[in-house]
Every structure is written in C-alpha cells, then in structure tokens.
Amino acid sequence: METQTIDAWTVELQRWPMLAAFAFGEASNILSVLVLARPKLRKNTCSLYLLGASISNAIGIFVGLLYFIVTSQFGFSFLSASRGLCKFIPFMYYSTLFLASWFILLACIDRYCSTHSKAAIRRFSHIDAAKWFLILLPCFSFISHIHLLVYIDWIQISLCSFTSFNYILFFYFYYVIFYAFMTPLLYIIFAGLTILNVRRIKKVVAIVVKRNRGFIKPHQRQNTLDAQLLRMLIVQVLSFVILTMPLAAWNIYISFTYYRPKSATTRSLEALVSVNFRFLNFINSGSACVVYATTSHVFREELMALLRCRWFRKTILREHQPHVFFITPHIAPL
C-alpha cells in the first residue's frame, strides 16, 4: 500500500507539473531568443552567447521534458519505441545541456576580456569571434558527446539503458566533474576577475580626473556595472549549486547502487526523489526570461517592446539606461 501511494505521487508529478514546466520553459526560452535577437542586443557579444544558451535550453527542454510528458500522459515511451530514439534523445539532451553552460561560460570570459587593460586580450571580445563560437561550439559539443551514441542502446527489446556499468560510473563522474563542479568554479573565477578589472579601471579614471582637477559626472553604466556583476555572480552561483548539485550527488548515488538489490519501496522512493530533482531543474532551465527581465533593465525594455509588437521600431535608449547587462543561466540536467 505504501509503495502504491509513492508511485501515485510520482505519476502525478510526471503529469501536470511537468506539462506546466514544459509550456512555461519553452515560452520563456523562446521569448529570450526573440528579445536577444533584436537589433539593440544582437550587436553585443555577450548577448550572442546568451542567445546561444537560450536556444540550447529550449532544445534541451523540448527533447528532455517532452519524453516525460508523453510517457506519463499517454503511456508511450520514445526510448522503447525506437532504437534510434533510444540513442538520439539522451545524446541531444546532454549535448545541449553542456552546450548551454559553455555558452554562459563564454559570456563570462567575454566580459572579463572586454574589461581587460591589454588590447590583445580585449580583441577576444569581438562580434566576429562570437559568431564563430556560435558555430564551432555546438559542433564541439556534439562531437565530445558522441560516446553516448555508443554506450546507450537497447539492452533487450524495447528496454533502453546504458550498456556497461563501467560507463555508468564514467558518465556520472564526467557529469559531476565537468558540469556540476568545473562550470560554476570557472563562473566564479572569471566573474571575480571581471570585477577586479572594473575596479582597476575606476581607479585609473579617478586618478586622471584628480590630476586634471576636473569633475566628471559619473555615468550610470559605470555605477551599475559592479552591482550587475555581483548580482549575476550571486544569483548564478547560488542557483547553479542549489539546483544542480543535489541531482549530481543523486546521480553518483544511483551509479553506485544501480545493480544493488533493492526493495520495491526503496525503488519507489528513489523514483519519487529523482522526479522531484528533475522537475526543479526543468523549472530552473525554463526561467531564463524571468531571470533576465529581473536583472537587466535593457532586457525588460526590449521585452516590453516585443510584446507591444514593436519589433521593427527602433527605440531610443535613454542616457541613464545601461548598455551592458549580466544575467544568470539556468541549466536543467536530466
């Protein structure tokens, strides 16, 4: 009776909450893509990387979450229906999952380079370089995850799973090290270096003003840059750690206990916990538009212009509005 109750909760979570997360996530990422592609934002290198991240998240939610919805609502499993889909769905999901995080990392590196004192390093923050990365990075992600096509297959008719226990251990540790640990660590490093660059620039400007005995009215962009970076860092690191690390730790537990005999109640509890972690991560992955709008005045303005059907109308940016914005990524691992 206890097992049936737990299974019933698991099924309900896979139905309407997942459907709501799917609709909200896709709408959010599509709006983010449309806003970031507007003329005012697409000329900025950081915006191009965020555009790539939003596209990757939209694909990841569509591929990863659609499977749960169809399975729970209609009892139809894509992974069991076709051997090709058994390989393709995990491959596409994890490729876009890592790709979105790498695009955000490039955005952090881009902000660091754009504020560096050396011209050679500032050249990295160029629109042409961003366009090349938009093409090359997806190719790299797909190539680096081609091992999923080899080690995920039908282990028997209509049963899709990993074909090797050693590969399960490898993949979960690969996921934890390169996605859940290295990515937020690099976020912190480059965000911190960017803040140091901005402060160094402010000190130089202050010295020049003092020597010239002049007075320069502080520009809003200079005043808000540190605050935006700090806000990006805090929200990004906290959300990434809180919403990603629990699932990463859970995957390590599953990898070590995958073939261990378990009771029916234990397996039901594990399924319930897994669904909860995935649901929270899918919500997080689909909240891009909300997070962008709450952390960037420019994004809010462009979003409102889009919602008012002013796509082709050029809006005049007032002097007090910042031209650079920093926002937080949300990735949802499967």
Mean pLDDT of 310-332: 43
What's the whole-number mean pLDDT along residues 233-245? 70
Give the pLDDT of residue 223: 46
* Confidence (pLDDT) at 143: 95
Closest CA to 66 of 41, 93, 87: 93
pLDDT confidence of residue 234:
62
Proportion of the chain above pLDDT 90, given as a percent:
16
* Of 106, 324, 124, 110, nearest in space to 226 by CA: 324
Amino acid letter, 310:
R
Residue range 246-257: mean pLDDT, rounded: 78
In this predicted structure, the answer to whether residue 315 has a pLDDT above a threshold of 50 is no
Give the list of residues 6+ apart from residue 55 with CB closer than 8 angstroms, or none.
29, 33
Residue 332 pLDDT level (bands cut at 50, 70, 90)? very low
Residue ranges of domains in the chain, CATH in brackets: 2-307 (1.20.1070.10)
The pLDDT of residue 328 is 41
Query: Does residue 134 carry a pLDDT above 90?
Result: yes
Higher pLDDT among residues 225 and 266, named by residue: 266
Q: Which residue has the higher pLDDT, 323 or 53?
A: 53
Alpha carbon distance 326, 280 (integer Å): 23
* Measured CA distances, 222 to 117, 153, 155, 216, 234 (Å): 16, 54, 58, 12, 20
Residue 140: per-residue pLDDT: 95
Do 187 and 233 form a contact (C-beta atoms < 8 A)? yes
pLDDT at 231: 63
Q: What's this model's pTM, rounded to 2 decimal places?
A: 0.82
Residues 6+ apart with CB under 8 A from 220: 319, 320, 321, 322
Higher model confidence: residue 72 or residue 26? 26
**Most confident option among 72-81, 260-269, 302-311:** 260-269
Lowest mean pLDDT among 8-22, 54-68, 317-331: 317-331
What pLDDT does 213 receive? 59
pLDDT band at residue 118 using 50, 70 and 90 as cut-offs: confident
d(CA 54, CA 48): 10
Q: What is the pLDDT of residues 186-208, one digit of tens each?
A: 988 888 888 888 788 777 766 76
Return the higher-pLDDT residue of 236 and 218.
Answer: 236
Mean pLDDT (whole number) for 25-47: 87
The single-letter DSSP state of residue 162 is E
What integer pLDDT is reported at residue 133 of this predicted model? 94
